[in-house]
A and B are shown apart, each in its own frame.
Chain A
Amino acid sequence: GAGVSQTPSNKVTEKGKYVELRCDPISGHTALYWYRQSLGQGPEFLIYFQGTGAADDSGLPNDRFFAVRPEGSVSTLKIQRTERGDSAVYLCASTSAATDTQYFGPGTRLTVL
Chain B
Amino acid sequence: AQSVAQPEDQVNVAEGNPLTVKCTYSVSGNPYLFWYVQYPNRGLQFLLKYITGDNLVKGSYGFEAEFNKSQTSFHLKKPSALVSDSALYFCAVRDDTDSWGKLQFGAGTQVVVTP
Contact = CB atoms under 8 A, between A and B. Distances in A.
B100 to A, nearest CB: 5
B107 interface: yes
Contacts, number: 58
A104 B108 contact: no
B106 A42 contact: yes
B46 A42 contact: no
B100 A31 contact: yes
A6 B44 CA distance: 13
Contact of B108 (A41, A91, A93): A41
Majority SS at the chain A contact face: strand
Contacts of B34: 101-102
Contact of A43 (B41, B44, B51, B101): B44
Given A41-B107, A42-B90, A43-B90, A101 B46 contact: yes
B102 A48 contact: yes
Nearest to A49: B100
Interface residues of B, number: 23
B51 to A, nearest CB: 6
A101 B92 CA distance: 11
Contacts of B105: 42-44
B101 to A, nearest CB: 7
A28 interface: no
A101 B35 CA distance: 10
B103 interface: yes
Given A104-B44, A106-B42, A42 B100 contact: no
Most chain B CB inside 10 Å of its own CB: which residue of A50, A59, A101, A103: A101
Nearest to B100: A31
B60 to A, nearest CB: 12
Interface string B30-53: 001010100001111110010100
Interface of B: 4, 32, 34, 36, 41-46, 49, 51, 90, 92, 100-108
Interface of A: 4, 6, 31, 33, 35, 40-45, 48, 50, 55-56, 59, 91, 93, 95, 100-107, 109
